[in-house]
Amino acid sequence: DEVIAYLYDCISAILETYDIGYLKWDHNRTLPLSDVTQTEGTYALLARLRAAFPHVEIESCASGGGRIDFGILQHCQRVWLSDSNDALERSRIQHGAALFLPALVTGSHVGPRLCHTSGRVFDMRYRAWVAAQRHMGFEMDPRELDAQEAQILTEVTQWYKDNRDWLATADILRLDTADPSVLAEMQRAADGSRFVVFCNQLDSAQHILPRPLCLTELDPKAQYRLHLRNRNEATSLSRGAPLLKSQDLQASGAWLMAHGVQLPYAMPGSIWVVEGRKL
């Protein structure tokens, strides 16, 4: 009780003094062993802060020590899945967490060019689109951005802002892929009127040509128009002429679910973004 009171006094003094709209709460559990009283104390503290500062959004952290549960979601607006800001690792983490958590409560941030947890460097296109698949934010120093990176980040962020209203309540549908190096999901609007497919090339393809990606949960009798949002990113290695590489595709839901979408060749560490609308 004394710890709760002390922390509340310290945190509330800061929130009362400064114009703060977002609080990231790290490390909810004692490690290596959980202590239920510490967990209940965290809940009590967060509930008190929420009551006193209802305008402040709280993002809770993290899953590495079992510190995300459905109980914590009563006291925060969203959760942070892992301390790793490696975009490739986060792709897998987000994909798994989608079994339990909608995009609205899943924080996902654009990390720095050099990932401090893995030492890897990823293109801004990849980092930005991974973050845009969930509740998007930034967790890096914007002063490191060059002009091209800033432009890419601006464009992807604007896409997220333009679509976040329907994405907030979209179903996240994990898609089966013939190539284990491909991780794909489809986010479908609650009313079924639109969707977006993220096709993530994690590693070098195991097939000489991309296999068709079958969609799901569409109206088989309806017609849909598909647009490859980032078709300008096709490389010189992308031989052949899949329709989406040069123009939009119109097809029935039955065809899209049975035959699938043919996407251009993709480099490792890249994502195709396909937007679909029901006609």
Per-residue pLDDT of 92-105, as tens digits, reads: 999 999 999 999 99
Locate CATH 2.60.40.1180 in the chain: 171-278
pLDDT digits (tens, 9 = 90+) for 53-77: 999 999 988 654 566 778 888 999 9
Q: pTM of the full predicted structure?
A: 0.91
To the query of whether residue 26 is one of the catalytic residues in this protein, the response is yes
Q: What is the pLDDT of residue 163?
A: 98
Q: What is the pLDDT of residue 177?
A: 93
Confidence (pLDDT) at 141: 92
Which strand (E) or helix (H) includes residue 126? helix 124-132
The residues, ordered by sequence, that sit 6+ positions from 56 with a Cβ below 8 Å of its Cβ are 15, 20, 21, 22, 23, 49, 50
Tell me the per-residue pLDDT of 225-261, one tens digit each, with 9 for 90 and over: 999 999 988 877 767 788 898 999 999 999 999 999 9
CATH 3.20.20.70 intervals, the chain: 2-167
Q: What is the pLDDT of residue 64?
A: 47
CA distances from 4 to 1, 11, 42, 55 (A): 5, 11, 8, 21
Res 106: pLDDT: 94
Confidence category of residue 39, pLDDT binned at 50, 70, 90: confident
Query: Is the pLDDT confidence value at 30 over 80?
Result: no
Minimum mean pLDDT range among 47-51, 78-82, 197-201, 207-211: 207-211
Q: What is the per-residue pLDDT for 62?
A: 67
The CATH label, of 3.20.20.140, 3.30.70.20, 2.60.40.1180, 2.160.20.60, for the domain at 171-278 is 2.60.40.1180
pLDDT confidence tier of residue 117, bands split at 50, 70 and 90: confident
26, 35, 162, 203: the active-site residue:
26
User: In the predicted model, what is the mean pLDDT of residues 7-13?
Assistant: 97
Q: What is the mean pLDDT of residues 76-89?
A: 90
User: Is 176 a catalytic site residue?
Assistant: no
Give the pLDDT mean for 7-24.
96
To the question of domain 2-167 being in CATH 3.40.630.30, the answer is: no
In three-state secondary structure terms, 71 is: coil
User: Which uninterrupted H or E stretch holds 271?
Assistant: strand 270-278
Beta strand ranges found along 152-269 (DSSP E): 171-175, 182-188, 194-201, 223-228, 249-252
**Catalytic one among 35, 83, 176, 219?**
83
Q: Give Cα separations from 125 to 9, 103, 128, 165, 232 (angstroms).
A: 42, 20, 5, 22, 12
Segment 176-205 shows an average pLDDT of: 95
Which residue carries 């945190």 as its tokens? Answer: 11
